[in-house]
Amino acid sequence: MSNRVSLLLLCCACALVSGCATPSRPEAMATTAAAAAHKSAGTVILEVSGGRQTSSTYVPQISNEDFTTALRRSIEQGGAFARVPAALPADYRLLAYIGRLDSPMMGMTVRVELEVGYQLIETATNRKVWARGIHTQYTVPSDKAYAFVDRVRIGNEAAARMNIEQMLNEVSALKLP
Amino acid sequence: MQRLRLWLIVAALGILAGCATQNVSHAPGADLGTMKTFYVQKFPADQRGIELLFVKQLNAWGYMATAGTADKPTAPVDAIITYQDRWAWDITMYMIRLNIQVRDGKSGDIMASAESMRPSLERLDPPEMVKEVLQAALKRPK
């Protein structure tokens, strides 16, 4: 009996020690896909909401700051807009609301679902040029990483990358001046 | 040996206890005050009928609410509620996490989302957790 209790306690301790969650990394969420099909000469500022900081004892999250950085890098790399200033003035405001980031609490294979609501607003007229909710999902196989929280983080990053890529493709198709 | 045992017990308690957390966010410009009719879309993995708890709570607050498995309701509604319930075992099964999204009835875009996370020692009955997340998402007074 004593051995069994010790074994259980040891398992709990191992879970505690091995499973510290780390936040999703902006460099892994930024898309490195090919240049935008259409490059706008306009500038855009980014406003992200709905994200959360990662607590070391919970599953990895995506923070507003990190998603903003990933968006900025993706736009700058692909050239969808001429520039991404940190504040107004700018020709457009891109609002991104992280409405859903869902992953299991435990498990071997991890499926992450991400839903971001985007709004692109022309600042001069305050007109909504484009709005769409984009849903992406990514499944991380069990052999991708040893720790569960690392598999969740990898899933978050991949789902975010796909989400940003899809958004940029749609914005590019608008052929903004 | 005694010290190691004590450390292990503390570590185990850390895992089992945790802290209850609630999170809520609203999309920029979302207006939830005018909503009167709701459709609750059943989470495919839910085998416990949680969607009916949402309907019951919304009805208790005076809203018109229905539930179903289809993506969209048969009649137009102001908002669609989607949810994901997660369960864990500790002596008995309990709901450890509940997430909801309040979506626009026409576009399906998320207007608000809320989460309640309750580890074993701070567990609540499912109807209470449903009430908790709805209150947060719909900005209802407690």
Instruction: Walk along chain A (177 residues) in steps of 10 and give the mean pLDDT of each run.
Output: 60 55 89 81 96 84 96 93 93 97 90 97 96 96 91 96 96 92
User: Are B99 and A100 within 8 A, CB to CB?
Assistant: yes
User: Residue A98's closest chain B neighbor by CA?
Assistant: B27
Could you give the CA distance from residue B84 to residue A104 in angstroms, rounded to a whole number? 10
User: Are B23 and A131 within 8 A, CB to CB?
Assistant: no
Looking at the partner chain, which of A50, A102, A119 has a beta carbon nearest the beta carbon of B99? Answer: A102
Q: Which residue out of B3, B15, B23 would a mutagenesis test of the A interface target, given it has the greatest number of A Cβ atoms within 10 Å?
A: B15
Does B59 fall in a domain? yes
User: Are B27 and A99 within 8 A, CB to CB?
Assistant: yes
Helix (H, G, I), strand (E, B) or coil at B141: coil
> What separation in angstroms does the CA of A155 have from each of A25, A73, A161, B43, B44?
11, 19, 10, 21, 21
Does B6 fall in a domain? no
Q: Which residues lie across from B24 on neighbouring strands?
A: B114
Cβ-based neighbours of A101, under 8 Å, separated by 6 or more: A52, A61, A62, A112, A113, A114, A115, A156, A159
Give chain A's radius of gyration (CA, Å).
19
DSSP A35-77: PPSS--SSBEEEEEES--PPPTTS-----HHHHHHHHHHHHHH
CB atoms within 10 A of CB B12: 19
Looking at the partner chain, which of A12, A52, A95 has a beta carbon nearest the beta carbon of B28? Answer: A95
pLDDT given for residue B135 in this prediction: 96
Q: Which two tokens stand for residue A17?
A: 């020690």
Residues of chain B with pLDDT under 50: none
Q: Which residues lie across from A44 on neighbouring strands?
A: A92
Residues in B closer than 8 angstroms to A3, CB to CB, are: none
Could you give the CA distance from residue A98 to residue B25 in angstroms, rounded to a whole number? 9
Q: Give the CB-side neighbour count of residue A166, counting CA atoms within 13 A.
A: 18
pLDDT given for residue B68 in this prediction: 96
User: Residue A116's closest chain B neighbor by CA?
Assistant: B110
Size of the A and B interface in Cβ pairs below 8 Å = 71
- Count of all residues that appear for chain B in the document: 142
pTM for the full model?
0.87
DSSP H or E run through B39:
strand B37-41
Q: Contact B122/B22 with Cβ under 8 angstroms?
A: no
Residues in A closer than 8 angstroms to B25, CB to CB, are: 49-50, 97-99
Q: Which two tokens stand for residue B141?
A: 């007074």
Residues in B closer than 8 angstroms to A119, CB to CB, are: 28-29
Q: Which amino acid, residue A79?
A: G
CATH, domain A20-173, list 2.70.98.90, 3.20.20.70, 1.10.1060.10, 3.40.50.10610? 3.40.50.10610
Partner A contacted by B96 (CB < 8 A): yes
Distance of CA B103 to the CA centre of its chain: 14
Expressed as residue numbers, the domain containing B89 is 19-137
Residues in B closer than 8 angstroms to A121, CB to CB, are: none
pLDDT given for residue A65 in this prediction: 97
Task: Give the domain CATH number at B96.
Answer: 3.30.160
pLDDT given for residue A58 in this prediction: 77
Q: Contact B53/B60 with Cβ under 8 angstroms?
A: no
- The structural domain count of chain B equals 1
pLDDT given for residue A22 in this prediction: 86
User: Are B25 and A13 within 8 A, CB to CB?
Assistant: no
Residue with tokens 């090919």: A34
Could you give the CA distance from residue A111 to residue A152 in angstroms, rounded to a whole number? 8
User: Residue B118's closest chain A neighbor by CA?
Assistant: A58
Partner A contacted by B44 (CB < 8 A): no
Helical packing angle, B2-17 and A2-18, nearest 10°: 60
User: Are A58 and B21 within 8 A, CB to CB?
Assistant: yes
